[in-house]
Amino acid sequence: MNKLKERFMKGIFFVAACASILAVALICLFLFVNGIPAMGEIGIFKFLAGRTWKPVDIPPSYGILPMILGSIYVTAGATVIGVPIGLLTAVFMARYCPDQLYRVLKPAINLLAGIPSIVYGFFGLVVIVPFIRDTFGGTGQSMLTASLLLGIMILPTIIGVTESAIRAVPRHYYEGGLALGASHERSVFFIELPAAKSGIMAAVVLGIGRAIGETMAVIMVAGNQPRMPKGILKGVRTLTANIVLEMGYAADLHREALIATGVVLFVFILIINLLLSLLKRRAR
């Protein structure tokens, strides 16, 4: 009877794993079958390096370089803002936070992870946009605003994964550091954090993936001008925003070009994960 149950559960797990793999394969198939021909028709160089996106002109222009740079700049800004704050917060929660404060702080961070993107967008539109406009000038809907908002949005992911990675480090690493004369801070930052490096890198990659794939919040605060980025106080349009804003009325080559934009975004995510794998191998 027990063997029968084990075989049954093994079959369930196998089916679930196959379903996940099939879902990823179907998404890849849809993107590449519909996107690659559009790149070939437009021209790969014109598509990736073109500086003009005017699909309704005659003749139309389908250059996504402004959106590629916009996505990279906004994601990099969010990473610079969110990663240090998230990392230090995770260290505080894992090794410094009093129990009474932890019981309040942990649910608050979990709640932060559950807030819908549109709510973040409203917060950015009502709070961050006026603050940037009054402090630095301009319209407020800019690359800087989008980076600040995304930096806040990726905090729960980075904090949660990093804290789990730090807590997973065997306790005797820390105790060994103390026994050798290291202070509490040195044991945490120079022994436990390097030991949790793999989990921390995974947290950063997940945060970057969240930032580069975010759409609704970015649409509300980034300005959405399909032009080359000209400064952190100027508006930009990301790859995801470009797809959402125009897919509703796109047709023929225009629609296929938007799907090809999704292919480029998908390749970015693959490159990020590949870099993580390479870093893990070098660390070993």
CA-wise closest residue to 187 among 208, 163, 169: 169
Question: Helices marked H in the chain — which ranges?
Answer: 2-42, 44-49, 65-95, 99-114, 117-123, 129-136, 143-153, 155-167, 171-179, 184-187, 193-195, 197-213, 216-221, 239-247, 253-283
Q: Is residue 215 within 8 Å of residue 240, measured between CB atoms?
A: yes
Q: What is the pLDDT of residue 233?
A: 87
For residue 181, how many other CB atoms are within 10 A of its CB? 7
Q: With 0-12 CB in 10 A as exposed, 13-18 as middle and 19+ as buried, what is 107?
A: exposed
**Structure confidence by residue, pLDDT tens digits, 46-98:** 888 888 888 877 788 888 888 999 899 999 999 999 999 999 999 999 888 88
Q: Is residue 201 within 8 Å of residue 24, measured between CB atoms?
A: no
Please give the Cα distance from 218 to 154 (Å, whole number).
13
Residue owning tokens 């820390």: 174
**Structure confidence by residue, pLDDT tens digits, 200-227:** 888 888 888 888 888 888 888 888 888 8
Q: Is residue 2 within 8 Å of residue 233, measured between CB atoms?
A: no
Domains in the chain, please, with CATH? 61-283 (1.10.3720.10)
Please give the Cα distance from 282 to 117 (Å, whole number).
36
Q: What is the pLDDT of residue 283?
A: 58
Residues of the chain with pLDDT under 70: 1, 280, 282-284
pTM of the model as a whole: 0.86
